[in-house]
A and B are shown apart, each in its own frame.
Chain A
Amino acid sequence: MVEPIRELVTITVDGREITAPEGQMLHDAAKSGDVEIPVFCYEPKLGEPVGACRMCLVEIEGIPKLQTSCSTPIRDGMVVHTKTDQVKEAQNAVVEFLLVNHPLDCPVCDKGGECPLQDISMGWGPGKSRFTDVKRHFQKPIELSPLIALDRERCILCYRCVRFSQEVAEDEQLQLLERGDRTFVGTFDDRPYDDPYHGNVIELCPVGALTTYTYRFRARPWDIEDAGSVCTLCSSQCNVKFSIRDEEVLRVLARDNEDVDDGWLCDKGRFGFQSFGSEDRITQPMLRGGDGELSPISWDDALSRVTKALKSSGEKTAVLAGGGTSNEEGWLLGRVLREGLAGNAIDSGAHPADAGAVRGLSNPALTARMRDIDHAGAVLVLGADPRNEMPICDLRIRKGVRRNGVRLAVATDSPTALDRRAHAVGRYLPGAAAGFISQLAGEIRSEGSSSGPDAEAVAALATELRGAEDVVVVWGEELWSEPRAISALMDLATVLGIEGTETSGLIEIPTEANGRGLREVGCLPGASAGLAEAPAGPGVSEFCEKLRDGSLETILLADSDPVRTHPDGEGWKQALGNAFVIAISSFETPSASLANLVIPAENFSEKEGTITHPEGRLQRVRRNVPPPDGLLPTWNFLAAVATELGVDCGFSDQPGLFTAMTSSNGLYQGITEEDLAGQGVRWQDREGAAGRVPAGGATPQMAAPTSAPGSAGAPDSIRLGTRRDLWAAEVAERSPALEFLVPMQSLEISIPDAERLGLKQGQAVEVSAGDGASVEAKVAIREAMIPGAAFLICGARDGNGNLLTGAVPGSRTIRIEVATPVGQTENT
């Protein structure tokens, strides 16, 4: 199902001839011809227009009454007038009516200066009001959520926020309550509006009814400067616009990029900026002294210590990159290790990716664009919960399903936020993805071939996917933890005929924000920049072991926090305790608190560099505010280290570095900074992309659908899985506004298992696995769970689930002990 192509037609607006696709809304067509029609409720991002505000009335020849231009599709030969007396009168009347109940308290309103109601009243209003009665009054701002203040007096009932909640985020919490002039926006029972995207309504609201507590009264539009960058807090890589006052980021807004974020941001990206100025931030190089405390050292000292440490461990050095580490930094890290130290232990991400398979998957014909999701025939979500791992992808899938009839199939181990919208859902046990996927591929190939406990679910999924015109598979990095799952995935792609069509493909959701970029610049064992062949080396899961047994001595962590985010946190703790650790980090994270040297890192308002979106789009992160005093750019520091180690850098500034990075990279070759301007560029969309990926290496073996995926170890045992939570992240804990969202550890368990074990909802339990480590959690019984498995949040601040997983996720069973006797349970 390809996006339908529409014929071009010509209409006349105010005497101008405008050519636009047939069926486009008149407002948009007029706009493309530079005719401005005022609107309040119309916002194409929200889907179908509702025509609630009547601000956009125009006169169309042949229709006796005025029409709303936001919801009138154009037709060939239409003649439209937007400036006649009749239209003016209507516009004046609409503005006058809107202002009847509007408090007009612009001086104390946060929207003042950037308010569409102000602008439209000035431009299209009558200039004065005849209304002399008492206006409607509500209690001044009430808390819609801990982040958003709602001033109901100012609301003009445009429905934008309600439509966002109902039709975009689909949380269905915001409603217009009451009727007539008493109508107001609210939630059922005055509950706080709770949704990871809810910050978007602040930007949508055309008046000052919805404002955020983090920006409230901080600045006026004329006090601030806008500056663009890209959010590096997750792999969605949303394009953002900072509002900067006095060299401080005060607010983050969406910078529309239809190819990437569709104009939305999640709340982590919107409010996470608060961590930039956190008091706990590390802004100077730090050395851990004999007493175990960090103390500041000079940059020169740091450089000589880092170089000395690296030199002395030589090829026994490991490099682990992650988070928002830029392509340039990743490339420098690769050179430091491979050229400077002759080492080959370099990796990024949390799960061991195989270079050969990465090359296979990087085939441009196999990669989907984000926008392919919009009009796909079917979307398969595999081993990932987009809401928690790549939030904007979740919105994109919802949009496709709601507006374009995309069929949605979800196959994961733990329940996802998309289940409710899915047409078919399959569950497998943690660690049993490979079997499930190959069974699915088999079932698509020949109907009725699957057997075992999952046969029904597999058949339902296969029905959605078989014969679907374009299939986009969104899959999670976690699949790499089962090597056979990747070959099964490749097989599935073949069955689905993905390679043959332009608009289908796979998109991997990496655990690290720049996961894709880091692999492509050489932070991958066995592959250097551009995925070129390099000597094989250990992968991330082997680092842990090798650091413990001493065959690796030093590890350099670039914005990576393995103790927290990687499987086998306990093992990583020991590993880092045993090795010399250099951490590039903004905070004393669980890993950095084991580091011997900490080098301060920049954030995405301070960094200059590029990152690569999971769809292969290079985007530019810009320096918009100066970093805290004297903080050296990370690339600068790494380049200095490289030079000390005898690597010839040959560039002296960031643009030079960018050119050096791209020209040494087969995939990125020829991309200039101008190409990246604004929207970024996909390397697959450039000429000769197909020939850019170096050929193979090891071809992953095909997995035969052997082990029935439903079979757990011993009967009645419960396998441990982990799930990611959007808010179980350093940035949420360091941003005062987001701290309330940091999750408590919870053990998700199925109804039958809970009944069997006598667990109650909300009960406190102690979960242990493997060699005795345990975490405390509250029981959360969930319907959509597969029996025989239970899930803990990985990366949680208190009781990180990763501490229990062991090196291979899904390989362990757990023991659950009740900590509070039944009867004292609280309901959550």
Chain B
Amino acid sequence: MHAKLNQDKTDWSPFPYLQEADVISVQRGPEAGGAAGGWRALRETMRGMKTTFARLVEGPVTLQYPEEKTAVYPRFRGRHKLHRFTDTGLEKCVGCSLCAAACPADCIRVVARENDPDDRVSAGERYAEVYEINLARCIFCGYCEIACPFDAITMGHDYEMADYNRADLIFTKEMLLAEPIERAPLKREGE
């Protein structure tokens, strides 16, 4: 290291710590305490207060949750939804388990089954007999949505999922398919 630093030096010495280039001088402010210190504290406090008072005139921004709810962005990743085809009413999910494979939290469980041609559940050969997401474990990464080859699962906007019981956080296929109560308002353009 030192050899490099001293390359342009003509009087190269075998004792690099004596070289001038190694001397670092540190700039320090005035010592704390005393009048200078007091002044500095006051100045910083005033600077903070300026911000505070400036916000004051903007009025309160507190949301009266749960009466009022935070609006979310359209791409917000909230609780999942499973979808049906609008025309046939069949489930889009074919139980392929790709979402389960993609899920980094390992919280999706799919057990597939063969469709009965006379009583179809999904459009393909197979359907998900069991489809469960353990929302207590989900990290809302949205990988499942990306993995799904049929857009059968999407992330909704609902973020109100607290419950008293962990077991209640396991959402079954019926719960995920049900038309969710849209509680979370969307942010408006430009908001």
Spell out A's residues near B (CB within 8 Å): 105-108, 112-113, 140-141, 216-220, 222-223
| Per-position 1/0 for B82-112, Cβ under 8 A of A | 0000000000001111101100000000111
CB distance from A111 to the nearest CB of B (A): 12
Q: Indicate if the CB atoms of A113 and B101 lie closer than 8 Å.
A: yes
Q: Which residues of B contact A106 (CB under 8 A)?
A: 96, 149
Q: Please tell me if the beta carbons of B94 and A107 are within 8 angstroms of each other in the complex.
A: yes
Closest chain A residue, CB of each to CB of B126: A217
Q: Answer yes or no: B124 CB below 8 A from chain A CBs.
A: yes
**Docked CA distance A140–B98 (Å):** 22
* Residues from 116 to 175 in B contacting A, C-beta threshold 8 Å: 124-126, 149-150
CB <8 Å contact, A140 and B125: yes
Task: Report the separation of the CA atoms of residues A108 and B43 in the bound assembly, to the nearest whole angstrom.
Answer: 69
Of all chain A residues, the one with the shortest Cβ separation from B149 is A107
Contact with A along B30-60 (1 / 0, CB 8 A): 0000000000000000000000000000000
**Are A108 and B94 also in contact (CB < 8 A) when A141-B125, A217-B126, A218-B112 are?**
yes
C-alpha spacing A106/B98, complex, angstroms:
10
B113 within 8 A of A: yes
Quick check: A107 and B98 within 8 Å, CB to CB?
A: yes
In the assembled complex, the Cα of A105 lies from the Cα of B111 at a distance in Å of 18
Contact of B124 among A105, A216, A223 (CB under 8 A): A105
Is A222 a contact partner of B114 (Cβ separation < 8 A)? no
- 8 smallest CB-CB distances across A and B, nearest first, come from A107-B96, A108-B124, A217-B112, A220-B97, A217-B126, A108-B125, A222-B101, A107-B149
List of B residues within 8 angstroms of A216 by Cβ: 114
Taking the nearest CB of chain A, how far is it from the CB of B68, in angstroms? Answer: 42
Chain B positions within 8 Å of A113 at CB level? 97, 101
Q: Whose C-beta in chain A lies nearest to the C-beta of B112?
A: A217
Residues of chain B with a CB closer than 8 A to A223's CB = 97, 100, 110
Known: A107-B149, A217-B95, A217-B112. A222 touches B125 (CB 8 A): no
Taking A106-B149, A107-B149, A218-B111 as given, write out 7 further A-B residue pairs in contact, using a Cβ cutoff of 8 Å, ordered by the A residue number: A107-B98, A107-B150, A108-B125, A108-B126, A141-B125, A219-B97, A222-B97
Taking residues whose C-beta sits less than 8 angstroms from the other chain, chain B's interface range is: 10 to 19
**A202, chain B: closest CB distance, angstroms:** 16
A108 to B112 CA separation, bound complex (whole angstroms):
10
Task: Give Cα A177 to B101, complex, Å.
Answer: 38
> Across the interface, which residues of A come within 8 angstroms of B126, CB to CB?
108, 217
Residues of B within 8 A of A141 (CB): 125
A81 to B125, CA, bound (A): 43
Which chain B residues border A217 with CB–CB below 8 Å? 95, 112-114, 125-126
**How far apart are the CA atoms of A222 and B124 in the complex, in Å?**
21
A and B contact pairs by CB, cutoff 8 A, 13 listed: A107-B98, A107-B124, A108-B94, A108-B124, A113-B101, A217-B125, A219-B111, A220-B97, A220-B100, A222-B100, A222-B101, A223-B100, A223-B110
| B113 CB contacts on chain A under 8 angstroms | 217
The residue on A at minimum CB distance from B125 is A108
Contacts of A219 in B (CB 8 A): 97, 111
Chain A residues with CB under 8 A of B150? 107
Residue of A nearest to B97 (CB): A220
**A220/B124 in contact, CB under 8 A:** no
Q: How far is the CA of A107 from the CA of B149 in the complex (A)?
A: 7
**How far is B128's CA from A223's CA once the two chains are assembled, in angstroms?**
14
- A112 near B96 with CB under 8 A, answer yes
**Across the interface, which residues of A come within 8 angstroms of B95, CB to CB?**
217
Q: Give the CA-CA distance A217 to B111 in the complex, in Å.
A: 8
Chain A minimum-CB-distance residue to B106: A222
Contacts of B101 in A (CB 8 A): 113, 220, 222
| Whole-angstrom distance between the Cβ of A219 and the nearest chain B Cβ | 8
Q: In the bound complex, what is the Cα–Cα distance between A444 and B114 (angstroms)?
A: 60
A492 CA to B98 CA in the complex, in Å? 62
| A108 to B149 CA separation, bound complex (whole angstroms) | 11
Give the docked Cα–Cα distance between A23 and B95 (Å).
47
Q: Which residue of A lies closest to B101 (CB)?
A: A222
With a cutoff of 8 Å between Cβ atoms, the chain B residues found around residue A222 in the complex are: 97, 100-101
Residues on the A chain within 8 Å of B98, using CB? 107
B114 contact set on A, CB distance < 8 A: 216-217
Which partner residue on chain A sits nearest B129 by CB separation? A217
A491 to B98, CA, bound (A): 64
Which residue of A has the minimal Cβ distance to B113?
A217
Q: Return chain B residues, CB-CB under 8 Å to A107.
A: 94, 96, 98, 124, 149-150
Min CB–CB distance A136 → chain B (angstroms): 18
Write the nearest CB–CB distance from A342 to chain B, whole angstroms.
Answer: 55
Chain B min CB distance to A774 (Å):
44
How far apart are the CA atoms of A141 and B115 in the complex, in Å?
12
- Docked pose: A106 CA to B148 CA in angstroms: 12
**Considering the chains assembled together, what is the distance between the CA atoms of A34 and B111 in angstroms?**
37
CB-based nearest A residue for B109? A223
Separation of A141 and B94 alpha carbons in the complex (Å): 16
Chain A contacts of B111 at CB under 8 A?
Answer: 218-219
In the complex, which residues of chain B have a beta carbon less than 8 angstroms from the beta carbon of A220? Answer: 96-97, 100-101, 110
Which chain A positions have C-beta within 8 A of B124? Answer: 105, 107-108
Compute how far the CA of A105 lies from the CA of B124 in the bound complex, rounded to whole angstroms: 9
Given contacts A216-B114, A217-B113, whether A108 and B96 have CB atoms under 8 Å apart is: yes
Contacts of A112 in B (CB 8 A): 96
Min distance, Cβ A815 to any Cβ of chain B, angstroms: 50
Chain B: minimal CB distance from A144 (Å)? 16
**Bound CA span A107–B112, Å:** 11
Q: In this complex, what residue of A is CB-closest to B128?
A: A217
Bound complex: CA A217 to CA B100 (Å): 14
Note all chain A residues with C-beta closer than 8 A to B100. 220, 222-223
| Chain B residue, CB-CB nearest to A213 | B114
In the complex, chain A residues whose CB is within 8 Å of the CB of B96? 106-108, 112, 220
The complex places the Cα of A520 from the Cα of B100 at a distance, in Å, of 49
Query: Chain A's nearest CB lies how many Å from the CB of B105?
Result: 14
A102 to chain B, nearest CB (A): 16
Max count, chain B CB within 10 A of own CB: residue among A140, A217, A218: A217
